[in-house]
Structure 1
Amino acid sequence: MGSLRLSTVVVSTVVVCLSILLLSPTEVEGRETCDKPYSICWFWPFFSDSDAYCRESCLKVKDEKYEYYDGQCRPARSALPLPPECFCCVRERSRAEIESI
């Protein structure tokens, strides 16, 4: 009876471990984030749409590894959040995209 319980536990553990390995991504391609600091939003008090200013600046950036597709003016990560920073939204390119560039 004890060996039956032990074998059940072992089989269950193996199944759970294999499920986790199969479901977790082994390689992350195409990951998107909007946390890539670009610059300070200098004109934020005067510019009616500071996100548009930041977006235009980010879209001009050329990079082999990342595709810049948007930008946002947000409070800086420092202790004094003024002036806000421009954070670019980037999408990580796949290996095939990088090789074709």
Structure 2
Amino acid sequence: MLILPAILTQLQASDCLEKLTQDMQREAEKQVVVDAAPLNSFDSSALAVLLAVRRECARAGKLFAVKGLPDRLRDLAALYGIEGLLTAA
């Protein structure tokens, strides 16, 4: 399982994505689950990171799911029309 940090804004997005991508590549499981529950301070960059990890999973032939998505981030995903891309675990 991949775990998002407590803070994920534009300032942390690049480093977070790099770490998550490396962790995803090491995952032995066919399904990669990202735990978003620790997020308490974020902006739309968190969605960009999640979508980028989803793309990396697809490239690697792995399934992607998110658990613990904060309501505010779920609302933001709905506003952008991408909530369907963030499959619940």
* Higher helix fraction (1 or 2): 2
Tell me the TM-score normalised to structure 2 length. 0.29
* Higher strand fraction (1 or 2): 1
Tell me the TM-score normalised to structure 1 length. 0.26
Higher relative contact order (CA 8 A, sep 6+): 2
